[in-house]
Amino acid sequence: MAQNLLNRLVWALALVALQVLVFNHVHLWGYATPVVYVYVLCLFSLETSRGEWLLWGFFVGLFADMFTATPGLGAASLTFTALCAPGLLRLFTPKDGVEGLAPTYRTLGLWKYVGYVTSLVLCHQAAMVLFEFFSFFNPLDMLVTYLGSSALTLVLVLVLGRLQGKKGRDTAHGG
């Protein structure tokens, strides 16, 4: 249990540091900025309590907000995503399968893992764009920002998942 907590904490700190130092400076076409710290939610299994999902989502988002001049945006969007994540994971988890294991390429299979990560990223980016714009006066800007940021985030999160899977830590992140 302590190992899981430490592992998640290291991932959270590393992802927020990457976000602050690297990815916040990426603005493709002035719209698309990846948000890699959403990957923290991919480290949780279905056995994780809803409260734990929400606390991790809130505090990782809040920690990111402290360094990015986006007061509350990261916390609100990642908390909303953490609220949706267990339900999304249930959609892609086999009924007789991966109890206690975090979702990875190996535990879910390639396409189910990609489906889960895609739905998680789309959910997070929808919340982030809606909270950021907080109006529908620029629907084209919102759509371009949503699609561009979602695509960049998805690619990076899938790469992170692949890198993590190569280390053989599929059982290290159980709930």
* DSSP-assigned letter for residue 156: H
Distance CA 67, CA 49 (A): 28
CA angle, residues 49, 104, 74, in degrees to nearest 5: 60
pLDDT above 90 for 151: yes
Tokens (6 digits) for 82 = 């953490």
Domain boundaries along the sequence of the chain: 2-166
pLDDT grade for 166, boundaries at 50, 70 and 90: low
pTM for the full predicted model: 0.87
Average pLDDT over residues 113-133: 94
Instruction: Compute φ and ψ for 103, nearest 5 degrees.
Output: -70, 125
* pLDDT of the residue at 68: 86
